[in-house]
Structure 1
Amino acid sequence: MKKNMMVFWICLLLGILSVIYAVMVHATGSGTAFFLIWIGIGIVVFLFGISVYMEVWKKAPHPIKIFAGMIVCIGLLVFCIVEGCVISQMHADGRGGLDYIIVLGAQVRKDGPSPVLKYRLDKAVEYLNENPDTVCIVSGGQGSNEPWSEAEGMARYLQEKGIDTARILPEDKSQTTEQNITNSKKLMKEGASVGIVTNNFHVFRALQIAKKYGLSDVCGIAADSTPKYLPNNMLREFFAEMKWLL
């Protein structure tokens, strides 16, 4: 019984931490409801702790135990494979001399780009300064919680950082990564070499999308991301990748 009690208190602590993390993610004002999944995880972990304490698992029929165990193992295997693929592209640095780079949009605010987008733009500035012949496509439409299009906000930021306006091509209609790629492709010359600038956790899926829509000479350029929100971004990317594959 002491062992069961210990498991219960550990699960209670993990559940509380998960809910606190959900509040932290929600406080970023990202405009999405994905933070709710952390509340769901906290509830599931807490209920698991209660079931262990009350020895519900021991009372379950053996076939149910086997089936549940198989589901958990398969789920963990799929999760590890997908996250391994995501991690494999988190340090992508592209290559020099690309014809274009595409900066994928993210939330803009009246006071400037969101932290996620600022990481992408700073990486783009770094690349553009090192490769003066590369043209930058800033891609992103205007969301309901944004003062102007993401493309406009990104173009302003790049100009403030000293990037020549002639090197910036705005694409201000996209609402998804797929649209970022397909709409940006229309602005490029045929057969151009392209770098996709996005946050490290997003590079793997972005490259999949780019290749599906005909960008054969493409590479990823990984920007940083905020460490404390990386667990949320990695989990969200897992579900996004599963949706993409299915």
Structure 2
Amino acid sequence: MLADMTGVLITLVLLVGYALLARWRPGAWTNGLVLLCAVLAGAWVVFRQLVGIPVLGSVVVLVVAVAAALGMLALPVLLIANGITMARKEGLRPANMLSGLLGVAIVVLMTWLAVSLGQQLTGPLYLGFGALLAVGWLSFGFLGFLASGVALGRRRCAPGPHHLVVLGAGLINGRVPRLLGGRLDRAVDQWRADRAAGYESLIIPSGGQGSDESRAEGDAMAEYLSEHGVPAGAIRIEDSASTTAENLRFSTELVTAEEPAGLVVVTSSYHAVRAADLCRRQRLQAQVLGAGTARYFMPSALLREYVALLAVHPWLNAVMVILILASGPLAWWLSTMV
């Protein structure tokens, strides 16, 4: 009984913590981790209540086991999907196959350890379990990243006076491709909603000219906006940025203090969490909106964004992975000392 009450209390504390974090730091990766912990704590309480019920208890145990396996498989499956997508789109080059081969290696590791259950533990098995724990840690972080992205994607922006900064992406033959068009369409929808409510918002298409582009992304984006009914007076072009950080900094510099309005950053759904992180690091009070993304593009994009988030704190994440990996050999060494 005490354990159940403790579990309920922990779940409530985590949910309250998530609600506060979502308001204080919307879109933060850590928000998703806290939400996942709350879900796991709540699931543990429910599990304890249901597991003793005949038949139903067995079903619950099976569901939990399957859910745990799927959670562990989330990252390797996405790695394999990304490898297949890259091979189909870009050819069978080693660089394109790397993520898929890594995903296959993780699945092979998990299968080997599962088959080895019940056997006498050896040094390689201890090392394998350490590697599996590291994969579990990275998978848990990835699920937290996804949870933050989903929560951010469900947010809606109330009508008002806004500066709508649209983050650029690569052009194709000097024209706006479907991916970038989705971001611009999202911004136009918000601009129209603001205008219908009596507010005049400003759209800032942001993006410089890449080495493989015939013109600046900001210019092509402004042309797209004009073709979709946005008047020139509601468009202010930023055409120098080459990174997301520069998109945000240069775009906000275009807005003067005499033009007070809420800052809204519009990007693709897969990029929203990192965009929100960059806004916080630049101390910008901004709301981030995510535009829809083609399904085939998502595996590669999500992996890239997750790795980019890990790279924000490279030493911390590297030390965590190394410590978790070392737990297997350490356990083996301790077993030999007994």
TM-score after normalising by structure 2? 0.59
Alpha-carbon offset, residue 75 of structure 1: 2.0
Query: Following the alignment from structure 1 to structure 2, what is the Cα–Cα distance between the partners of residues 70 and 122?
Result: 42
Alpha-carbon offset, residue 85 of structure 1: 1.7
Q: Given the superposition, is the C-alpha separation of residues 135 and 22 from structure 1 closer, same or farther in structure 2, using an over 3 Å criterion?
A: same
Which of residues 248, 256, 259 is equivalent to 1:181?
248
Q: Given the superposition, is the C-alpha separation of residues 210 and 61 from structure 1 closer, same or farther in structure 2, using an over 3 Å criterion?
A: closer
Aligned partner letter, 2:283: G
2:147 matches 1:80: no
Query: Partner residue of 1:119?
Result: 182
* Aligned 1:228-243 pairs, distance under 5 A: 228-243=296-311
Alpha-carbon offset, residue 185 of structure 1: 1.1
Secondary structure of the residue aligned to 1:219 is strand
Alpha-carbon offset, residue 244 of structure 1: 2.6
8 Å contact 2:204–2:236 — kept in the other structure?
yes
Query: Partner residue of 2:86?
Result: 22
8 Å contact 1:93–1:220 — kept in the other structure?
no
Query: Following the alignment from structure 1 to structure 2, what is the Cα–Cα distance between the partners of residues 19 and 125?
Result: 34
Query: Partner residue of 1:227?
Result: 295
Query: Following the alignment from structure 1 to structure 2, what is the Cα–Cα distance between the partners of residues 137 and 15?
Result: 35
Which of residues 309, 312, 332 is equivalent to 1:244?
312
Query: Following the alignment from structure 1 to structure 2, what is the Cα–Cα distance between the partners of residues 166 and 222?
Result: 25
The count of residues paired between Structure 1 and Structure 2 equals 227
Query: Following the alignment from structure 1 to structure 2, what is the Cα–Cα distance between the partners of residues 49 and 72?
Result: 10
Bigger fraction of residues in helix: 2
Query: Following the alignment from structure 2 to structure 1, what is the Cα–Cα distance between the partners of residues 232 and 292?
Result: 25
If you compute each CA radius of gyration, which structure gives the higher value, 1 or 2?
2
Q: Given the superposition, is the C-alpha separation of residues 82 and 34 from structure 1 closer, same or farther in structure 2, using an over 3 Å criterion?
A: farther
Query: Partner residue of 1:90?
Result: 153
Q: Given the superposition, is the C-alpha separation of residues 139 and 15 from structure 1 closer, same or farther in structure 2, using an over 3 Å criterion?
A: closer
8 Å contact 2:152–2:273 — kept in the other structure?
yes
Alpha-carbon offset, residue 17 of structure 1: 6.1
Which of residues 169, 177, 180 is equivalent to 2:236?
169
8 Å contact 2:175–2:220 — kept in the other structure?
yes
Q: Deviations over 1:164-216 (max 9, x none)?
A: 11111111111111110011110113463111111111112212211321322
Moved more, 62-71 or 236-245: 62-71
Aligned partner letter, 2:263: V
For structure 1, list consecutive stretches of 5 or more residues without a partner in the other structure: 1-13, 28-32
Q: Given the superposition, is the C-alpha separation of residues 115 and 23 from structure 1 closer, same or farther in structure 2, using an over 3 Å criterion?
A: farther
* Aligned 1:121-136 pairs, distance under 5 A: 121-132=184-195, 133-136=200-203
Aligned partner letter, 1:21: T
Query: Following the alignment from structure 1 to structure 2, what is the Cα–Cα distance between the partners of residues 107 and 195?
Result: 21
Q: Given the superposition, is the C-alpha separation of residues 110 and 16 from structure 1 closer, same or farther in structure 2, using an over 3 Å criterion?
A: closer
Secondary structure of the residue aligned to 1:172 is coil
Query: Following the alignment from structure 2 to structure 1, what is the Cα–Cα distance between the partners of residues 211 and 297?
Result: 23
8 Å contact 2:109–2:128 — kept in the other structure?
no
Q: Given the superposition, is the C-alpha separation of residues 182 and 111 from structure 1 closer, same or farther in structure 2, using an over 3 Å criterion?
A: closer
Q: Given the superposition, is the C-alpha separation of residues 242 and 112 from structure 1 closer, same or farther in structure 2, using an over 3 Å criterion?
A: same
Query: Partner residue of 2:99?
Result: 38
Query: Following the alignment from structure 1 to structure 2, what is the Cα–Cα distance between the partners of residues 17 and 78?
Result: 19
Alpha-carbon offset, residue 161 of structure 1: 1.1
Secondary structure of the residue aligned to 1:196 is strand
For structure 2, list consecutive stretches of 5 or more residues without a partner in the other structure: 1-77, 315-338
TM-score after normalising by structure 1? 0.78
Query: Partner residue of 1:195?
Result: 264
Q: Deviations over 1:118-142 (max 9, x none)?
A: 1001111222222230001111011
8 Å contact 2:163–2:262 — kept in the other structure?
yes
Moved more, 96-105 or 17-26: 17-26
Aligned partner letter, 1:193: G
Q: Deviations over 1:64-117 (max 9, x none)?
A: 234223222222222222222222212333221133100000011226212210
8 Å contact 1:15–1:46 — kept in the other structure?
no
8 Å contact 2:264–2:289 — kept in the other structure?
yes
